[in-house]
Structure 1
């Protein structure tokens, strides 16, 4: 059975059939969404080519992105074609670049900063939940903070499944999260730290859910990305500032000079660290946290929102939210120094004539 779809990116050939849903939609609809999303992001088919999808299988969207980069590329699992950009109407197995993934090879996903074997699995009623689980975890960044990586993936998976079943859009989840983020800010300013932590914790989990829902259901949008990344970028300094003003409600207000030092450290340190990350990305074409294994490990604890919240949580358990804020300021300074040193070392390597490569690229080359 073969069906040809007309999409924004061009002709799409669906082979086989499959009645098993995935993330609340048919596999044909999922593949159509992937093709439309690729077109929206600027990808195009080579003249005389079409996209091919095998509806019997579910696969990592990374494979589609790679197939679109090189016309004539077909990913297979043994003798079964999975996804590829092939000549229109041709026998897919005659494609010039056939990559058999059944050999266990790993590929580097630059978008998600991780090296792993991409998911390819036959979609059946018995494998559906396992595939959804694998595609959900496949949407996780490999290099991120310790809370996102280890603490709440399972909780976020449950919430992502519920949101998909309720036909919620990622933007709906984002709006709920932003509301809770603003509520946490207000509660911190009033010194209501435990209530603020609860609101902030739910927001941080939903901050994971909206992105995973968008990737798993192929429903990301430009406006959604603006909401998600814009709020992520802007709100942390406000949380730290109003945490500081809320100390007065506990009778632990910091002296003016200490408060000025702390705010200068957390705000300037946050901004400068982001600028360093931006400079590294601009000059070396990759995230600073994927350069060497040390950088990937340091990303787990670097002074971003989630690790900083761990510092404040521990201090709050001890009844000293003031000490927690001071400790956060010093950790921000340490993190800033580490990032500045790594940027300087990268420039030194570049001046020496040696290439700046991610350790994940090197590992992929070693296993190819």
Structure 2
């Protein structure tokens, strides 16, 4: 049956109604709460944000599961049509899922809920390499009653362990712990969104770790080369260390300036920015470079390549920031324009 408070509704009151016989992506709520809007499925209303004048009509239509007469001043979004939503938080334009809540659709709803929680603009490993693995781990975590903060805590321990291992020259051990941590970094976010257990503290905990540790991994890798048996000279060591930290800090500053000025991530401005995000010199692509170099027995070359790629990525984002400053028209995301 539709969900409502049961309290009297005034004609000018804004009302939110939902048919609990359907499961739906929370992104639809953000879309319809902007203005009076009704989300339909096969012509019947299943979510509605309307004034009290229309609430009873829509409530009865929901209860009956039937199509209804559309008020002229209410926008209609067809969930089973071509309606799409720009999800600013997850950086993607999509048609969020809606499914009748039935025993036979539970598995489908689970998958759609999980993949609906994925960012549209992210790195190539997160986007392509481990979604199915992370789905299995997220399902297990939910069944075991683990909270997202518990998963983040395990990731934090592995993160510190990988850093120590790198500094001591145990590059393979550090790489193993690092990759597990990177997968768990996907799991905790999906678990939070799919189980609706996100919290401000958890968000700070997770993103704080993500923000701080990457350059220390690279530093540890560089420092551990001598113990591993592939040292670099003192001058090159100092240069690489300087490049690693300078490019990382400046890159984050550029992203912060862009987001502060234009109220969106630099990676969602134009399509090329979203495509470059797949491979830009963030942690996951950089660790992939280090792994490939380690497989070929040249971890020293790997850290040099990471430094060079960091310089090129910084140059790309610097140019994009300057182009945004010089652009003659308002800066909006290419996805919000669709």
In the alignment, what sits opposite 1:111?
89
Q: Does 1:358 align with 2:333?
A: yes
How far off its partner does 1:190 sit? 1.1
Q: Structure 1 length normalisation: TM-score? A: 0.83
Q: Show CA shifts across 1:72-116 (max 9, x none).
A: 322111322222223355222566233222222222211111112
- The answer to whether the Cα contact below 8 Å between 2:162 and 2:174 also exists between their aligned partners in 1 is yes
Q: Does 1:167 align with 2:125?
A: no
Q: Does 1:248 align with 2:233?
A: no
- The answer to whether the Cα contact below 8 Å between 2:289 and 2:302 also exists between their aligned partners in 1 is yes
Distance 1:188 1:127 in 2: 46
In the alignment, what sits opposite 2:190?
212
Structure 1 unmatched ranges of 5 or more: 14-45, 364-368
SS at match of 2:112: helix
Distance 1:50 1:207 in 2: 37
Distance 2:311 2:204 in 1: 28
2:17 to 38, 45, 52: 52
SS at match of 2:128: helix
In the alignment, what sits opposite 1:194?
172
Distance 1:257 1:219 in 2: 49
How far off its partner does 1:252 sit? 2.2
In the alignment, what sits opposite 1:25?
none
Q: Does 1:223 align with 2:223?
A: no
In the alignment, what sits opposite 1:122?
100
How far off its partner does 1:338 sit? 0.4
2:320 to 304, 321, 342: 342
Q: Comparing 182-191 with 91-100, which one deviates more in the overlay?
A: 91-100
Runs (4+) of structure 1 exceeding 6 A deviation are: none
Structure 2 unmatched ranges of 5 or more: 59-67
In the alignment, what sits opposite 2:63?
none
In the alignment, what sits opposite 1:279?
257
Q: Structure 2 length normalisation: TM-score? A: 0.91
Distance 1:153 1:230 in 2: 23
Aligned residues: 322
Q: Show CA shifts across 1:310-338 (max 9, x none).
A: 11001101111111111110110000000
1:90 to 46, 50, 56: 56
Distance 2:144 2:15 in 1: 34
- The answer to whether the Cα contact below 8 Å between 2:77 and 2:83 also exists between their aligned partners in 1 is no
